Structure 1
Amino acid sequence: MTSTSGRVLTRRLFLAGMAGTLAACQQTTASGSKPAAALPTKYAALYSPLPNERFPIPGVPANAIKPAFVRQQVTYATAEPPGTIIVDPGAKYLYLVEEGGTAMRYGVGVGREGFGWNGSANIARKAEWPRWTPPAEMIVRQPELAEWKNGMDGSLSNPLGARALYLYQGGRDTLYRLHGTNEPRSIGSNVSSGCVRLINQDIIDLYQRTPVGTRVVVLGTAGVASA
């Protein structure tokens, strides 16, 4: 691909958003958040370049992420067992529930109005540098994506980023994903076509912590998941 087509692709993907979302369900109650350590001290280590990846990932500029969305351990009260992922689209957070009333909290970007979804699912598949295929309904909305109807190989330009966690219900693919992004400034916003996106460094961290079979709960806008 030439540099010109790369720029066109980047523009297309920015306009198209991301192809995927999460799922989750059951009522969950969250408490206030309390950082475990001073964030400025840890930021460089959390979001430094990852040169050993298949496609080297650049570091995240210090002003690209609002402090509230920096990865950190927080206090978190929930009836869900440790190991569960809970997504709160309204707050733009993803929580990985831990033992002892804490959770690892990640800032996320979520679906634009009309693309939201909530309920419960399980991670049935995980992929590094995943291949992306735009769903048929996305191609209908944005015909220029037909170029990728047979899929796009993993790369820094791929909308799914460095990792993807695929959500299934009852053994069937929901087409919603937890995935990476190389647009850190989009974290904390309603930007995708339904997917939950994390900074590449954060999705890699989450990927390492969550095995296939992990339960994922996506809350509704009122902070409660539907059945």
Structure 2
Amino acid sequence: MNAAATAVRRPLARLLLMLACVGAAALTAASPAAATSVAGTREERLSNETTSSYWAYPARVATIRKAPSRDAGVVSRTQLQTEIGRPNVYLVLSVIALPGGGERWLKIRVPGRPNGRVGWVLRGALGPLHNVDTQIVVDRSALTATLRRGGRVVMRVPVGVGAAATPTPPGRFWVREKLRFRLQPLYGSFALGTSAYAPTLTEWPAGGVVGLHGTDEPWLIPGRPSHGCVRVRNEENAQLWARTPVGTPVLIR
């Protein structure tokens, strides 16, 4: 087993203990890389969004700020639930501990419009961190979705993406919820709800959240038949759903 694989499989309890009890210097061993200096200390990267990423449920409603400071501008507030009432999920990018035994802050990706926002919350705003080694890449040119685990391709399937008037948005997102329902004519039986929001469908249920879901029109895949979501043939979508954990980063390009 190489060093990267060992880091991915490191017991989560060890990382949580370091987050709770020690400063940023001790986190270096658990972090893929160090980022820029902030407020006299160092920001330590936790997620590379390809082979090792961390996510958490919110512990409370809290202010998300533009910088790791109580005086920084406001980006948004954490939400305990998604639009359909499932527990919300936040992707955690990095951690910083302010000097002199000061507060610990987590840098997170923020779901909601506009897509692509990031911000900082106090460590206590989120619950325990969970690790995933998976990533989904949706290629809108090749019309494929690829699931990787530990950097290795697990499966690649043809997809249908948004039409020109209702495009699938590009960017870095993550799986916030896994939905399973009785067979739906439009969506099949399985869907992965992401943190992406379709740019043109604000009036749709749940505000236009982009999902990866099944279809009742498999002959349109591969293609561009959707209103912004990513359509997958039902049998392949069932496999993708089963192999993809909550918190998996999603790159749409």
Rg larger for = 2
TM-score by length of 2: 0.41
Bigger proportion of residues as strand: 2
TM-score, normalised relative to structure 1: 0.46
Task: Indicate the structure with greater helix content.
Answer: 1
